[in-house]
Amino acid sequence: MLSRVADSLYWMSRYLERAENTVRLLDVTMSLMLDTGGSNVETRWQRLVAALGKPAEMDWNGSIEEMAKKLVYDHLSPASVIYCLNGARENARQVREEISTEMWQRLNRLYHQMHLPRAQSQFSANMSDQLSMVIDGIYLFKGTTDTSMIHGQGWQFIRLGRYLERAYATATLLEVYQSELFPAQERESSGYLHLELVGLLRCCTAFEAYCQVYTADLSPERMLEFLVLNREFPHAIHYCVAGTREAIEGIQQAGGRRPPEELKAAIGKLSALLGYTSINEILAGDTAGFLHNIRGQCLHIHELIYRFYVHYSIQSALTV
Amino acid sequence: MELETLYGDYSLDQAFDEMREPSGEVRAPYRALAETLATLPAGELQRRKQSVDLAFLTQGITFTVYGRDEGTERIFPYDLLPRLITAQEWDRIERGLTQRITALNLFLRDVYSDAKILADRIIPRELVYSCKHYRRQMRGLQVPRNVYIAVVGSDLLRLNSGEFVVLEDNLRVPSGVSYMLTNRRVMKRSFPQLFARCGVRPIEHYPQLLLATLRSLAPEGRPEPNIVLLTPGVFNSAYFEHTYLARQMGIDLVEGRDLVTHDNIVYMRTTDGLKRVDVIYRRVDDDFSDPLVFRSDSALGCAGLFNAYRAGNVTVSNAFGTGLADDKAVYAYVPRMIRYYLNEDPILPNVETFLLSEEKDRKHVLANLDKLVVKAVGESGGYGMLIGPHSTALQREEFARQIEANPRNYVAQPTLEFSRAPCLIGDRLEPRHVDLRPYILFGDKINIVPGGLTRVALEKGSLVVNSSQGGGSKDTWVLE
């Protein structure tokens, strides 16, 4: 597979995952704001922005409607949903011959729905519908991808992008929540705290899954355990890292080169960390530092993937 | 729908109408179409058109108009009614084009080797050597199977007499074939019964033929050649076509930045390391293909490509320097080439062409600028043209000045009254001017899929069919 094509598929997938994450976080934040008794509107907005990695130009201006619209439709801001969707489509367009026609049509339809003039002008009135439209569009795209595309290298690069982006996003989200919300559990009255905790789970579509494992008894420690260490839940960091590892093995099995020791080591190290650390150890130590370290390792893996599959030097390739 | 309403003020004059006799009677091949149209309820044609528009938009069969904040995408303009060509007409076109392309290929081979045709004074030397598409780097270079032009899209017109003539031969990177294939898919869906009833010859195998053609031109000793399509990239107006063809052929679509050369071998960068490339179907102009040999400011090509090509390690199709033979002044000599190389009379005639480098012609043209069409020799796509009867005195003065300054750069032709075909305009049929671009493939032999792209000047009275200038297209049905 051409390096440029792998690069485009990887980023198409990352952009879509990012758009999905942003939409879900925004949706949860907006519905939490209905209950005015807890944290105030601005605090919630700041937390949302922090969970998105503190993008520039998302400074609070006093109007939640305007901010929400900006986060969805400001095509000049790299954090916005529309920017991510445009980026995904532009990447897909550059590898139009590699993805299936069904995938392209699905993505293209979502793009055109987002660009309808009335979608933007009536956003405030239909926010919830609009946001679920985006999520639905992305789900349909993922389903179409899995059923209509050869599960070869290209598909593995799509998975790679998806899981790496998601691992990073979940880690960022938890880092923000653990510093702002978990210490607050003694202070807040239980009703509002409950809403906040459900909100956190819903940001990862994890509420029902959590209940199945732990019952509806919400405790921050268990939630952290679930979202970091669970091996079976698709938004848990451990699951995402396992997915990343499988994707890299899949690339090799689909006729690719053996990944270098450095890349295998980086992924193995992160898997081991998540596989053999207990929640008590995480809580006893520097929890924020632990999550921050995971993000750093994700970035390192991304760089190694680039150095090996996409931007390798020609000299090194000729001597092999 | 009532025929009166459908045809409205469908006017007939001396121009050849594809569908109707001068008396107004429907021509025999079009009778099935006319009957079908007559049975459709009012508004049905428009409804079908809308459903196709929507399909085009979701399928992304669009071209991008850049220049604003975001690229604005438009669907490719097309017309829902087919253009019909009888078996007899097609037979003549096919034989005529085969003859013509054979001669043009022999000409390129000759000019880039012994140049006998110049020594025999059939074509003036200065005309060839002053052509801006002449590539001296190609002199003495052996190309695989002696095929210079693997893919050609000649433009034909039908004159008032009903006879087809060749307007130009596109020998560099002809485009539009994806629209031919897409139009066919649309028409089969929109008019299934009519399609079956008419007995239309298929064209869907074009991508396989193209792949076989490219494979037949692979360098020797490469039994399983790695064939790629080289595109200038996503900003090129024909990008949709490049992706479409690559997908249909199952080959990699590469950009210049994907290619590297080492020891005169071309490689592409893959996730598994470097992979050797054997055949390049090139959709990038000569000028932009290799910054070491052609334009040094181009980043679209691949440095070292030409040397690898010269070494015979990679085939590039079409070859470099083929633009020489579709220079509009060289065009005037094609009938003489056919007689010289093949000793045959041309089956498809040329359009009468005045060379402005010849003094007698130039005087005639300058005196009749308001009646003639003047074209710059190296341009295509409808650019650099003066259409005399539709021009202003100021434009004519400007062209006269340019002609005096650089006569070699221009040719003139009579303003052609070419044929018209019915198009759906609003809810009526109206005649619009059409041309025909068949696609000719030249590998181990010449193959032409029956039909081609019928381009339409959608604006009333307009003679310009180029898609960059408001033209559209129609499906072309060659009947059994």
ipTM: 0.80
Distances (CA, A) of B50 to B43, B44, B182: 11, 10, 16
**pLDDT-derived band at B425, boundaries 50, 70, 90:** confident
**Enclosing H/E stretch for B192:** helix B192-198
Cross-chain residue pair B257–A4, CB shorter than 8 Å: yes
Q: In terms of CA atoms, which chain B residue is nearest residue A253?
A: B272
CB B421 within 8 A of CB B456: yes
A116 burial type by CB count under 10 A (0-12 exposed, 13-18 middle, 19+ buried):
exposed
A21 burial type by CB count under 10 A (0-12 exposed, 13-18 middle, 19+ buried):
buried
Closest approach of A247 to chain B, Cα-based (Å): 14
Torsion of CA B169, B356, B373, B16, to 10 degrees: -60
Structure tokens at A29: 């934040």
CB B443 within 8 A of CB B22: no
Residue A320 above 60 pLDDT? no
Residue A230 above 50 pLDDT? yes
Quote the pLDDT of residue B4: 66
Quote the pLDDT of residue B70: 46
Residue A38 above 60 pLDDT? no
Quote the pLDDT of residue A155: 96
Report, as an integer, the average pLDDT of A45-60: 89
Place of tokens 């509002």: A192
Residue A196 above 50 pLDDT? yes
Quote the pLDDT of residue A187: 57
More confident residue, A231 or B237: A231
Closest approach of B295 to chain A, Cα-based (Å): 24
**pLDDT-derived band at B69, boundaries 50, 70, 90:** very low
Structure tokens at A135: 């999520």
Q: pLDDT digit string (tens) for A82-120?
A: 999 999 999 998 898 889 888 998 999 999 999 988 888
B224 and A CB contact within 8 Å: no
Please give the Cα distance from B113 to A100 (Å, whole number).
46
Residue closest to B445 by CA, chosen among B87, B105, B88: B105
**Enclosing H/E stretch for B420:** strand B420-425
Structure tokens at A152: 């070869």
Quote the pLDDT of residue B67: 42
The torsion angles phi and psi of A116, rounded to 5 degrees, stand at: -65, 135
Report, as an integer, the average pLDDT of A255-273: 89
**Enclosing H/E stretch for B373:** strand B372-376
3-state secondary structure of A157: helix
Closest approach of A171 to chain B, Cα-based (Å): 29
Quote the pLDDT of residue B68: 40
Place of tokens 């959709």: B283
Q: Choosing among B69, B231, B265, B271, which should be mutated to test the A contact, i.e. which has the most A CBs within 10 A?
A: B271
Report, as an integer, the average pLDDT of B249-259: 94
Residue closest to B265 by CA, chosen among B222, B225, B308, B230: B308
Residue B271 above 50 pLDDT? yes
Q: pLDDT digit string (tens) for B100-126?
A: 999 999 999 999 999 999 999 999 998
Report, as an integer, the average pLDDT of B240-246: 90
Quote the pLDDT of residue A173: 95
Quote the pLDDT of residue A319: 62
Residue B147 above 70 pLDDT? yes
Q: How many CB atoms are closer than 10 A to CB A221?
A: 12
**pLDDT-derived band at A185, boundaries 50, 70, 90:** low
Mean pLDDT check: name the lowest of B45-54, B244-253, B449-458.
B45-54
- Does the pTM surpass 0.90? The reply is no
Q: Considering chain B, what is the average pLDDT of its residues?
A: 89
**pLDDT-derived band at B267, boundaries 50, 70, 90:** very high
Tell me the chain A residues in contact with residue B258 when contact means C-beta distances shorter than 8 Å. 2-4
